[in-house]
């Protein structure tokens, strides 16, 4: 009987286990997770759970008993090393595997010199969310460092709870490198229209000890900003030191083929944020940190391990969403490949704005601000790499309806 060890009990790891059983895989499976909780969904941490509108139990991913999956669980345990087909855990347990699935995700990036302070937070785990929610419940003001999606969603949650919010961003506009200047400005406007003070092109020199119990941040121009609490959301880093025994590169994530097999190995797979899969269309290896990508990758890996037919490739058209102020921002495709951006629908307001991203005249991504009907019409065009004239024609037709 073969043994599959899945390290990482988040979305990607749990879905791999579920899909393996759904494919009829009846051999032994072990699931390892460094948090003691049952596997849970992370997106609500910056929204519903942080706001207190959902009980924590609502974020649990498996709708049933984990025992029903006939899986050996090692929750609250971390993998610390790997050698000769054995994963060693921090409690001394040694798990010999025939197949290994690495789904350990990433960890929040910390700023140089970022202090450990009870009112200064990152947001990645349920414990992080509990701590931030506790600070926000006592606060009147919040400082958000980083205007990425975590920062933007926390800012929205805080504003809707009545806190004064200041957001710092080092780039000239939020998401400038990813969404481009025009759409980045629209993201900034979504925040400012809802009362957030957004300061872009701002360098943070460091944090100061604040005698009143809050936090204080010193900017490069000498300005000192004070707030009752703060959150740092400046991206993520791969933490794969325990995988050194594989003898493959891990600094930028696990380099995988188009079905998740880690290249240079014959029995190790990568799923989720830590995995850089070869894209089925473009041939590069992006690390796509999206919820739907982890689910799609888990399905493919499970089919390959179970010896089943692979029915679809993962990440052909990646999908991402973010909820802010009652609006849903949706992105399909690879805007990181774009060389130009064109607004396809401009209703004169943020809601309903749709932008197309093109690479050498081919549509590679579409961003929509709360326009799901329009976005769904463009999905096929993104998958087909439609030309700019084809996209403009489709936009005109959709606008006339």
Q: Which two tokens stand for residue 337?
A: 């490949």
Report the percent of the chain where pLDDT is more than 90. Answer: 91
Q: CA–CA separation, 123 vs 127, rounded Å?
A: 9
pLDDT at position 211, please? 64
Give 210's pLDDT tier (boundaries 50, 70, 90): low
3-state secondary structure 24-61: CCCCEEEEEECCCCCCECCHHHHCHHHHCCCCHHHHEC
E strand or H helix that includes residue 15 = helix 11-22
The residue among 356, 373, 374 whose CA lies nearest residue 365 is: 356
93-110, pLDDT tens digit by residue? 999 999 999 999 999 999
Cβ distance 268 to 243 under 8 Å?
A: no
Does residue 212 surpass a pLDDT of 80?
A: no
Q: Which residues contact 191 (CB under 8 A, 6 or more apart)?
A: 147, 152, 155, 156, 167, 174, 198, 324
pLDDT at position 400, please? 86
Q: CA–CA separation, 265 vs 250, rounded Å?
A: 13
The residue among 187, 148, 143 whose CA lies nearest residue 165 is: 143
Q: How far is CA 86 from CA 82, 97, 242, in A?
A: 6, 6, 12
Give 119's pLDDT tier (boundaries 50, 70, 90): very high
Task: Please give the mean pLDDT across all residues of the chain.
Answer: 95
User: What domains lie within the chain, and their CATH numbers?
Assistant: 3-106+238-306 (3.50.50.60), 109-232 (3.50.50.60), 326-399 (3.30.390.30)
pLDDT at position 75, please? 97
The residue among 16, 32, 38, 35 whose CA lies nearest residue 89 is: 32
pTM to 2 decimals?
A: 0.95
Q: Is the dihedral of CA 280, 285, 290, 294 positive or negative?
A: positive
DSSP 278: P
Q: CA–CA separation, 243 vs 249, rounded Å?
A: 9
Backbone angles phi, psi at 182, to 5 degrees: -65, -45
Give 312's pLDDT tier (boundaries 50, 70, 90): confident
pLDDT at position 278, please? 95
In 146-193, beta strands by DSSP E:
164-169
What Rg do the C-alpha atoms of the chain give, in angstroms? 22
């Amino acid at each position: 009987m073969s043994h599959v060890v899945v390290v990482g009990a988040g979305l990607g790891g749990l879905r791999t286990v579920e899909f393996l059983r759904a494919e009829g895989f009846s051999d032994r499976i072990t699931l390892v997770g460094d948090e003691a909780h049952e596997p849970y969904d992370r997106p609500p941490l910056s929204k519903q759970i942080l706001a207190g509108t959902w009980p924590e139990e609502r974020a649990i991913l498996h709708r049933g008993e984990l025992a029903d999956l006939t899986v050996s669980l090692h929750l609250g345990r971390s993998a610390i090393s790997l050698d000769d087909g054995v994963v060693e855990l921090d409690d001394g347990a040694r798990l010999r595997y025939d197949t290994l699935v690495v789904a350990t995700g990433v960890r929040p990036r910390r700023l140089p010199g970022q202090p450990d302070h009870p009112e200064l937070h990152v947001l990645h785990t349920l414990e992080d969310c509990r701590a931030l929610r506790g600070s926000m419940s006592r606060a009147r003001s919040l400082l958000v460092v980083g205007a990425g999606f975590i920062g933007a969603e926390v800012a929205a949650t805080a504003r809707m709870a009545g806190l004064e919010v200041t957001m710092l961003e080092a780039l000239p506009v939020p998401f400038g490198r990813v969404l481009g200047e025009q759409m980045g400005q629209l993201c900034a406007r979504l925040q400012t229209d809802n009362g957030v003070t957004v300061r872009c092109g701002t360098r943070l020199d460091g944090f100061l000890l604040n005698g009143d119990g809050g936090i204080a941040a010193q900017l490069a121009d000498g300005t000192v900003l004070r707030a009752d609490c703060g959150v740092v959301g400046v991206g993520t880093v791969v933490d794969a030191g325990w995988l050194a025994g594989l003898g493959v590169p891990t600094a930028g994530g696990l380099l995988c083929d188009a079905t998740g097999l880690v290249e240079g190995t014959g029995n190790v797979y990568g799923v989720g944020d830590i995995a850089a899969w070869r894209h089925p269309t473009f041939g590069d290896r992006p690390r796509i940190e999206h919820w739907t990508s982890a689910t799609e990758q888990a399905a493919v890996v499970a089919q390959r391990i179970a010896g089943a037919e692979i029915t679809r490739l993962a990440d052909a058209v990646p999908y991402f969403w973010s909820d802010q102020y009652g609006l849903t921002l949706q992105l399909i495709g690879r805007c990181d490949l774009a060389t130009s951006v064109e607004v396809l629908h401009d209703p004169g307001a943020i809601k309903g704005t749709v932008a197309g991203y093109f690479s050498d005249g081919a549509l590679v991504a579409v961003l929509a601000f709360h326009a799901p009907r329009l976005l769904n019409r463009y999905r096929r065009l993104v998958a087909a790499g439609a030309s700019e004239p084809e996209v403009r024609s489709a936009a005109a037709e959709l606008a006339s309806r």
